[in-house]
Amino acid sequence: MDKQALRERIWDELEESGEARFPYPPHGRIPNFDGADEAAERLAANEAWQEAEVVKSNPDSPQLPVRRAALRAGKTLYMAVPRLRDEKCFLRLDPDEIADIDHATTIGGSSEVGVPVGPDEMESIDLIVSGSVAVNGIGARVGKGEGYSDLEFAILREFGLVDDATTTVTTLHEIQFVDEAIPTASHDVPIEWVFTPERSVRTDASGGKPEGLAWNGVADERLDEIPILNRLDRE
């Protein structure tokens, strides 16, 4: 199935079923859903999560419970600056330095209390939480179509902060866990664990993860929009 057609179908189903939650409507977003708290609890019970000391998460609403769980568990949390627009393109949230976790893990709160850092100032990432519109049983993922999640992974890999052993997970609604084949490219990061309100699933993702940035897929305008790209070797 075409990725955009799949996105539209998922967004429509979440809206029509009444399972979508604020912000509303779900279209054009990593959709929030009823049961996001329960999906986060399943993730928090997973061994890979419990062993992780450093977590990177997307900033979207359905993963808010995940970000709060990370800080409450004493994990260092990284979030990307929106659209990677700054030279210091990530925010570090240190649980030892944050008084109000509920506020700090919102989009606005993270920009207020998070410490801007560049990749050369970051710790290695143990586990990545990606927001998803859809994922299938072999770990192929569809995001909202802007490509930042995969780009963030590529940048982190260029700096040696992630590798094939970095665990990749998502939380989503059962409607978003699909049977369809999803087209993938070499820059797509596979999802190894899916957590829904009802179950925890180890996908059949096989092979490694992207080795770094695929320059032939980077538009010239992104070099102007994303300063960190200009620090990377294009060979």
* 227 occurs within a structural domain: no
- Report pLDDT for 208: 87
Average pLDDT over residues 14-33: 97
At residue 224, the pLDDT reads 78
Mean predicted confidence (pLDDT) in 88-102: 96
Q: Report the domain count for the chain.
A: 1
For residue 137, the one-letter residue type is G
d(C-alpha 107, C-alpha 55), whole Å: 16
The answer to whether residue 7 is domain-embedded is no
The pairing of strands 127-129 and 115-117 is: unpaired
Is residue 45 predicted with pLDDT exceeding 70?
yes
150 pLDDT higher than 90: yes
Q: Which domain, by its residues, includes 113?
A: 34-215
What pLDDT does 145 receive? 87
CA nearest to 104, candidates 55, 67, 50, 56? 67
Interval 15-21 mean pLDDT: 98
Task: Please choose, from the candidates 110, 131, 149, 137, the residue with its C-alpha nearest in 3D space to the C-alpha of residue 202.
Answer: 137
CA distances from 232 to 97, 103, 158 (A): 31, 34, 8
The pLDDT-based confidence of 217 (bands split at 50, 70, 90) is low
Is position 186 within any domain?
A: yes
**Separation of alpha carbons 127 and 104, rounded Å:** 20
Prediction pTM value: 0.95
- Give the chain's radius of gyration (CA, Å): 17
- And the tokens for 222? 């992104």
User: Does residue 226 register a pLDDT over 80?
Assistant: yes
Q: What is the mean pLDDT of residues 204-230?
A: 81
Tell me the angle at which helices 36-44 and 64-72 cross, rounded to the nearest 10 degrees: 40
Domain-located, residue 223: no
pLDDT of residue 232: 80
Contacts of 88 (CB under 8 A, 6+ apart): 81, 116, 117, 118, 121
Q: Would 99 be classed as within a structural domain?
A: yes
Q: How many CA atoms lie within 13 A of 19 on its CB side?
A: 18
Q: In CATH, what number is assigned to the domain containing residue 172?
A: 3.40.50.10420
- Classify residue 234: in a domain, yes or no: no
Judge whether residue 204 has pLDDT over 80.
yes
- Does residue 180 form part of some domain? yes
**pLDDT level of residue 235 (50, 70, 90 thresholds):** very low
Out of 65-79, 137-151, 208-222, pick the least confident. 208-222
Q: Quick check: 234 pLDDT over 80?
A: no
Cis peptide before 23 (omega within 30 of 0): yes
Closest of 217, 228, 212, 235 to residue 158, by C-alpha: 212
Arithmetic mean of pLDDT, 49-78: 98
pLDDT higher than 50, residue 72: yes
DSSP code string of 117-179: E-GGGPPPPSEEE---SEEETT--EE-SSS-HHHHHHHHHHHTTS--TTSEEEEE--GGGEE-
Tell which wins on pLDDT, 219 or 159.
159
Whether 105 shows a pLDDT value over 80: the answer reads yes
Q: What percent of the chain has pLDDT over 70?
A: 96
pLDDT-derived band at 222 (thresholds 50, 70, 90) equals confident
The chain-wide mean pLDDT, for the chain, equals: 94
Residue 181 within a domain: yes
